[in-house]
Structure formats: structure tokens, C-alpha cells
Amino acid sequence: MEKPEQLIVDGKRLDGRAPEELRPIKIVAGALGRADGSAYIEMGNNKVIAAVYGPREMHPRHEAQPDFAVLRCRYTMAPFSVEERKRPGPDRRSIEISKVIREALQPALFLELYPRAVIDVFIEVLQADAGTRTAGINAAAVALADAGIPMRDLVSAVAVGKVDNTIVIDLMKAEDQWGTTDMPVAMMPRKKAITLLQMDGHFTEEEFKRALDLAMRGCEQIYEAQRRALKEKYAVGGTE
């Protein structure tokens, strides 16, 4: 794809969205049969699946903690998830993302209820279009709730950034590539407690405040979608 001359034309973005508009979201709770909890999410062209196993016995044993459960996260991208084939398996980037996702989810969990155990979270990106770590966090939060693991709150995440000098939310590939700033934010919306904040590029102090405010409003919308997905899973029963 060539760099377009303008990323924002007449206040509309390349895909026709307004600057403060999210991409369409679809979340399915319990998408996998064999996992203890799972979720599938589509955020625009991102397609991500999350699976949760546990709490279960920690292997290797010596890594278990005597007074709380350990949370393990593994974020990976499928070889076909991007334009150029990605070599499968963890690389520098996905190891880092696994770490920040783990730290974004951890504050929401009551890990002290399951000493010596481990909770495994697997996040598999099937199709990527910028913002896979935030989509992964959104899916993982739903999957954890679906597994019945006690949580203080769900975790919602969205990226904000600066494109053509405009603050935008939920960047897509072209904006991520040619925009000036990208800032993924994850939080527990109920208390507005931020659990992940990264930034690539520059914001002035005033821009940062506006961007963070926009991210918080975006997270509220995603939070609603997550809650709806969890409720929908059980709303259908009673018919067969």
C-alpha cells in the first residue's frame, strides 16, 4: 500500500470514520469448546481469539508461588495474520506484548484465591490491522470472566493517536504506519484505573490529556460490548 497524501479528508478518515469513532466491534464469549474460558473478538479487521486455562497445577513446580496464583500470558500472531508471512513462534515483539498484556490483566484478578496454581492466557492473532494488543486484552478479559475466574472488573483497551495533526481513536494499519503517534491504553473502566499505557511518537501535554480522555470514552464503549457478550452467552438457554 502506498502512503496516501492525506490520512484525514474533510474530517473523515480513510475508512470513513470520524476521528473519535471506534471500528465496529464483535465479541463472542465462549468461542472454544476445550478451553476453560474463551472469547473471539473482531475490532474492525482485527480478528483475535483468546483462551484461558486454569487455575490449574503449575508446571514446572518450582515456579509456583505459595501464596497466590501466577498469571501467564502468551500473545502470538498467526503466520497468515499479516501481509508478509510472519515466521511463527514468539519473537522479540510478541514476548514484550505478552508481558505488557499480563501486567494489564493482573490487577483485575483475585490471584490470592488460588495459591500455588497458574492461570494460562493464550492470545492468538488471526488477522492483524493495528491495535492487536488492545484487541487481545479485550478478548482475554472476556475469556477470564468466561472461565469463572474472580475479577475486580473487566479490562478494556483501545489505542489513541495523532494522525495528520488530529487526535484519533482506534488506529487502523495505515494510520498506525503513517501517523505521528500511537498510544495504546488499557484500563478497568469502573474505577478508571489504567493498567497499560504505552506511547510511540509525541504528544504535547495538552494533546496527551485530550487523547487519554478520548481513550477513556472509547474504553467505556468497549466495556459495554464486553459485558453484553458475557450476558449473551447465557441469555439463549432454555430452548432446544
Partner 1 sequence: MIMVENRELVVPGQQLAEGDYLVSDGVFREGKRIFSTVVGLVDIKGRRIRVIPLQGPYVPKEGDLVIGVIVDVHPLGWIVDINSPYLANLLVQDYLQRKVTPGRENLKRFLQVKDVVVLRVKRVDEKKQVLLEGGKPGLGKLKGGKLVEISPMKIPRVLGKKGSMLSVLQKSGRCRLLVANNGRIMIWGSDGDVARVTDALKKIEREAHTTGLTDRIKLMLEETKEVN
> Is residue 194 within the footprint of partner 1 (CB under 8 A)?
no
**Of the two residues 85 and 152, which places its CB atom closer to partner 1 in the complex?**
152
Stretch that binds partner 1, among 38-46, 88-96, 146-154, 205-213 (CB under 8 A): 146-154
Q: How far is CA 105 from the centre of its chain?
A: 10
- Counting contacts by CB under 8 A, is residue 110 touching partner 1? yes
CB-nearer residue toward partner 1: 4 or 115 = 115
Distance CA 186, CA 62 (A): 31
Ramachandran assignment for 89, one of left (phi > 0), alpha (psi -120 to 50 degrees), beta (any other) = left
Any contact of residue 60 with partner 1 (CB under 8 A)? Answer: no
Binding residues for partner 1, total number by CB under 8 A: 36
Helix (H) or strand (E) holding 181: strand 181-188
Q: How far is the CB of 148 from partner 1 (least distance, A)?
A: 3
Span from 6-14, 79-87, 169-177, 224-232 in contact with partner 1 (CB under 8 A)? 224-232
Tell me the three state secondary structure of residue 179: coil
Place of cell 501466577: 70
Q: Does 57 bind partner 1 (CB under 8 A)?
A: yes
Regarding 116 and contact with partner 1 (CB under 8 A), the answer is yes
Say whether residue 230 binds partner 1 (CB under 8 A): yes
C-alpha cell at 171: 488506529
Angstrom distance (rounded) from CA 26 to CA 82:
20
User: Any residues with CB less than 8 A from the CB of 85 and at least 6 apart, and which?
Assistant: 79
Nearer to partner 1, 29 or 163 (CB): 29
**For residue 238, which phi and psi values (nearest 5 degrees)?**
95, -15
Residue 79 binds partner 1 (CB under 8 A): no
Asked whether position 33 contacts partner 1 by CB under 8 A, the answer is no
Q: Is 190 in the site for partner 1 (CB under 8 A)?
A: yes
Strands in 78-173 per DSSP E: 117-127, 156-163, 166-169
Residue 178 found at the interface with partner 1 (CB under 8 A):
no
Contact 41, 26 (CB under 8 A): yes
Q: Is residue 54 a contact residue for partner 1 (CB under 8 A)?
A: yes
Q: Which residues contact 126 (CB under 8 A, 6 or more apart)?
A: 47, 48, 49, 78, 80, 81
Residue 149 in the binding site for partner 1 (CB under 8 A)? yes
Which residues here bind partner 1, judged by CB under 8 A? Answer: 36-37, 54-57, 66-67, 108, 110, 113-117, 145-154, 188-190, 227, 230-231, 234-235, 237-238, 240
